[in-house]
Amino acid sequence: MEIIDLSSIVSTTLGDIPENDLEIVLAREDARDTWVIQRIFTYKGTAYPEAVGTVVRQDAWVTIKNGQGASAEAGL
């Protein structure tokens, strides 16, 4: 029986794909009030030749570093 490591399977727009068939790129952007991490999966396998080189999944994590304030300072 073949043992499949489910932790290496990624849900994509093509369906569930072995992680080995995907190129994974992380991109981080740091702005004044937020920082963002994007994880981009590009297909590089052989089962779907027409999809090679295409992005099959993108995740994003947006962290709000600073919220919004309503100023109520004295002095007006």
Contacts to other proteins by CB under 8 A: 11-13, 29, 31, 33-34, 36, 38-39, 41, 55-75
Query: What residues does 40 pair with on adjacent strands?
Result: 25, 58
In whole angstroms, the minimum distance from the beta carbon of 18 to other proteins comes to: 16
Q: Between 7 and 71, name the residue whose CB sits nearer to other proteins.
A: 71
CB 52 within 8 A of CB 70: no
Q: Between 36 and 52, name the residue whose CB sits nearer to other proteins.
A: 36
Handedness of CA 24, 50, 47, 60 (dihedral sign): positive
